[in-house]
Structure 1
Amino acid sequence: MIALTVSPTLVLLPGMDGTGTLFDPLRQALDPSLPVQVLDYPADQVLDYCALVERVWQQLPTDRPFVLLGESFSGPVAVSIAARRPAGLLGLVLCCSFVRNPRPALAPLAPLLGLLPMGRLPFWPMDALLLGGFSTPSLRQALAAAIAQVAPRVLQARLQAVIAVDASRALRETSVPVSYLRASRDRLVPASAAALVRQLRPDARLVDIDGPHCLLQAAPREAAAQLHAFIQTLIPACNGTGEH
């Protein structure tokens, strides 16, 4: 008897830019048969993590199973959604992300973030942090274009939100399988962020991929392969009669 499988929708939550446009390399690398839904955040509206969770909640699939991926900044959003146990959620993926401020030493600087001239900062430090040795002209152009779409005050607010966030309890309250994609050359989110995820969810699947913080952009084929492998473990096999 042949087992039949149905692909769930992969719901992608973006990094700090919130545009969703930076998922293009990953979408091109994924199997075309895998349904993908990209969500974005307002580029000109300051929303804290709680507000973003509510925004995402309203856009989740309600008529089909899905897997939720939180990239970088969106990790706490994805975790908070998963803790609510929405119907249809099969699994949770965190990519180069965190559930608590990944750089606690920066917490005392939170009041100063509002003074950063986000719209006038040079691009090269961001390029070095996010892409590093994997930087290419096309990746730099895509990253710069995405960041340029977002109001400086929104970026400042998101940075402050990262410093204050703690979704540890929410992660402990999740019940679906968890996969963490860790970039081996991430200069922004340290390995301790993944270690905390494993501490809170010892059963989490930890996958190391050679790449920078912008892993889904710089190593899309490798990331896509790992996503497909994880999703396959979540799809229940059905027999030829359609019975589970």
Structure 2
Amino acid sequence: MDGTGELFNPLLKLLPQYLELQVICLNSLCSQKPEEQAFEITSLIGEDEIIILAESYSGFIAYHLSLIPTVNIKHIIFAASFLENPSKLSKLSSLLPLNLIRNGFIPSFILSRFLFAQSNNKYLVSLFLSALKLIDNSTLKQRLKIISNLVAPVKQVSVPCTYVNAKSDYLVSKKSVHLFNELFVNINIVNATGGHFIVQSNPLYFSKLIHGVIAI
């Protein structure tokens, strides 16, 4: 799951064509509320056994999907996700200069380091900016507001999952993984090199991880 689907391109290029893949774009959903989005997604995935890869904010939606008994989830891979307010920075999201970022006024080397923990990956930065332009400011502000006001859930989940912690994540507190550890009774926590957008920072790692989960 991803806001626009654009950011999964580096990973999709590494996955074999015989895998049945479905990128669920949050922009295509009617609701902006995570709980309602989860129920909306159930109509898109059907009854087949699935593996979910949820990056960042999508992890909160994947959690709510795991609570729906009709969804046949084999495994969830959480990539730098969070289930509550991810950091003190999120409280300042309303001050973000969205138009400056959207129009490329922030130097690429800054965005590259901050988002992907790479010196100056212009391809990933351009991918991020392309995805950003597909989301209007009102939708983005609403999503950021939801993130800043997330309240920690309390229901435990038995669905097997893997939490991938980004070693150089400047947006999500290292404490965020603790809540996953409390709520998911069957969880494996691993570390991977990269920034907050860890799937894009390290697509090869996730390609191998997905193959491993399929083989279980």
* Superposition TM-score, scaled by structure 1 size: 0.77
Q: Secondary structure at the match of 1:42?
A: helix
Q: Is the 8 A contact 2:73 2:159 kept in 1?
A: yes
The answer to whether the aligner puts 1:59 opposite 2:44 as a matched pair is yes
In 1, the alpha carbon distance for the partners of 2:72 and 2:185 equals: 23
8 Å contact kept, 1:182–1:206? yes
Pairing of 1:6-85 with structure 2 (within 5 A): 13-14=1-2, 18-42=3-27, 47-62=32-47, 64-85=48-69
Aligned to 2:74: 90
Distance verdict in 2 for CA 1:208–1:116, change over 3 Å: closer
1:119 and 2:105 equivalent? no
> Given the alignment, which residue of 130, 145, 149 partners 2:134?
149
Instruction: State how far apart, in whole Å, the 1-side matches of 2:113 and 2:28 are.
Output: 24
Counterpart code for 1:154? T
Contact preservation (8 Å) 1:44, 1:154? no
Q: 1:128 to 1:156 in 2, by over 3 A?
A: farther
Match of 1:175 in 2: 158
**Closer/same/farther in 2, CA of residues 151 and 230 from structure 1, 3 Å limit:** same
Aligned mates of 1:50, 1:135 — CA distance in 2: 37
Gap regions ≥5 residues in structure 1? 1-12, 234-244
Measure, in 2, the Cα distance between the counterparts of 1:93 and 1:134.
Answer: 27
**Aligned match for 2:171, one of 154, 173, 188:** 188
Seen in structure 2, the aligned counterparts of structure 1 residues 135 and 188 have a Cα distance that, compared at 3 Å, is farther
How many percent of aligned residue pairs carry the same amino acid?
A: 23
Q: What's the TM-score once normalised by structure 2's chain length?
A: 0.87
Q: Which protein shows a greater Rg? A: 1
CA RMSD of aligned residues (A): 2.3
**Given the alignment, which residue of 141, 148, 158 partners 1:163?**
148
Contact 1:43 1:151 in 2 (8 A): no
Distance in 2 (CA, whole Å) between partners of 1:60 and 1:232 is: 21
Distance 2:158 2:134 in 1: 36
- For 1:53, what is the secondary structure of its paired residue? helix
Q: Structure 2 stretches of 5 or more lacking a match?
A: none
Q: CA deviation at 1:86?
A: 2.7
Cα offset, 1:212, TM superposition: 1.1
Following TM superposition, by how much is the alpha carbon of 1:123 offset from its aligned partner in structure 2, in angstroms? 3.3
d(CA) in 1 for partners of 2:90 and 2:19?
39
Q: 1:126 to 1:43 in 2, by over 3 A?
A: farther
